């Protein structure tokens, strides 16, 4: 569920301890301007994790999911149990005090096999809240919303990225851009991401963001205006935010209970329940309890 994380450490003793770890491989130096003064930054790495030393802090960033898969991909299911074990492994490798590893950025989401081709699903994602979904590239299988905001919603076809590992897989993901959004969820340190209860908060957040999506379901017979992007743009252009929400509710009501938006949410909930299931060790292998 969790993919990319970025943390910072300001405790000097812990910084020195981590930085001197023999597992780290030197990557290079760079320069960055701070208050009209150019400072030198040094970066080291271990697998797909990057450690950058600033004047007053150490930042660590990378994908926990990639780390779990030895840096190869993040296309398979990454269960909550696996995520916690991965953090514990990193903790042991670098002797981290997880309470001193403050969260800066976080990406969390879910991979599902929808009931329609992913390219069609992505094409019909129109708004998240009042922010329009846009394509950052020429590809039709990738959209983002809220690029300028404190959080970003990403929706894309995971199987385009890793065709040998998955097929027709839709990734719906939240990327935080400011620590205050993470903090608003009650997440402050890496220690919080080892606590099962905190994942329920992330799950609720993810499903809430899906609820905020405007998705065209053209399999249903409703007025053409609801499938016209100009209709929604005009409402927002006229500054009538309440009307936008009211029309969105009316649109989903007209679609009925058996609509694409609701059905995708049900698929997400089923996948999340799978990700929450506990792995039980046996004498032969690890089996998943359902």
Output the pLDDT for position 37: 74
pLDDT in tens, the chain (290 residues): 999 999 999 999 999 999 999 999 999 988 777 777 778 899 999 999 999 999 899 999 999 999 999 988 898 899 999 999 999 999 999 999 999 999 999 999 999 999 899 999 999 999 999 999 999 877 778 999 997 778 999 999 998 888 888 899 999 999 998 899 999 999 999 999 999 999 999 999 999 999 999 999 999 999 999 999 999 999 999 877 789 999 999 999 999 999 999 999 999 999 999 999 876 443 333 333 33
Instruction: Give the alpha-carbon dihedral of 166, 114, 158, 76, to 10 degrees.
Output: -50
CA-to-CA distance for 182 and 178, rounded, in angstroms? Answer: 7
Tokens of 274: 């799978």
3-state SS of the chain: helix, strand, coil percent to 5? 40, 30, 30
CA-to-CA distance for 157 and 169, rounded, in angstroms? Answer: 6
**Side by side, which strands form the sheet with 213-215?**
131-132, 125-128, 213-215
CA-to-CA distance for 158 and 168, rounded, in angstroms? Answer: 7
CB of 4 within 8 A of CB of 106?
yes
CA-to-CA distance for 45 and 151, rounded, in angstroms? Answer: 27
Output the pLDDT for position 80: 96
CB of 163 within 8 A of CB of 157?
no
The verdict on pTM exceeding 0.75 is yes
CB of 1 within 8 A of CB of 106?
no
3-state secondary structure at position 214: strand
Domain boundaries, the chain: 2-220+256-288
Tokens 């846009």 belong to which residue?
134
**151-157 and 58-63 as β-strands: parallel, antiparallel, unpaired?**
unpaired
Output the pLDDT for position 279: 61
């Amino acid at each position: 569920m969790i993919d990319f994380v970025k943390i910072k450490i300001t405790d000097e003793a812990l910084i020195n301890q981590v930085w001197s770890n023999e597992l780290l491989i030197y990557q290079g130096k760079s320069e960055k301007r701070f208050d009209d003064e150019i400072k030198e930054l040094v970066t080291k790495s271990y697998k797909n994790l990057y450690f950058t030393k600033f004047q007053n802090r150490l930042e660590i960033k990378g994908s926990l999911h990639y780390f779990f898969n030895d840096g190869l991909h993040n296309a398979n299911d990454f269960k909550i149990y696996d995520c916690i074990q991965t953090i514990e492994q990193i903790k042991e490798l670098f002797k981290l005090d997880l309470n001193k590893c403050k969260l800066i950025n976080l990406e969390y989401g879910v991979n599902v096999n929808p009931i329609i081709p992913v390219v069609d699903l992505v094409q019909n994602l129109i708004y998240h809240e009042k922010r329009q979904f846009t394509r950052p590239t020429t590809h039709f299988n990738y959209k983002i919303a809220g690029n300028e905001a404190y959080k970003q919603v990403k929706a894309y076809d995971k199987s385009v990225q890793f065709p040998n590992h998955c097929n027709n897989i839709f990734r719906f993901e939240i990327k935080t851009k400011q620590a205050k959004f993470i903090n608003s969820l009650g997440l402050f340190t890496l220690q919080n991401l080892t606590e099962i209860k905190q994942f329920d908060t992330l799950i609720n957040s993810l499903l809430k963001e899906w609820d905020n999506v405007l998705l065209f379901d053209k399999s249903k017979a409703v007025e053409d205006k609801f499938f016209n992007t100009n209709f929604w743009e005009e409402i927002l252009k006229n500054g009538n935010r309440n009307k936008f929400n009211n029309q969105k509710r009316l649109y989903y009501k007209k679609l009925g209970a058996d609509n694409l938006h609701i059905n995708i949410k049900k698929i997400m909930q089923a996948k999340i329940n799978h990700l929450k299931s506990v792995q039980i060790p046996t004498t032969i292998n690890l089996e998943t309890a359902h």
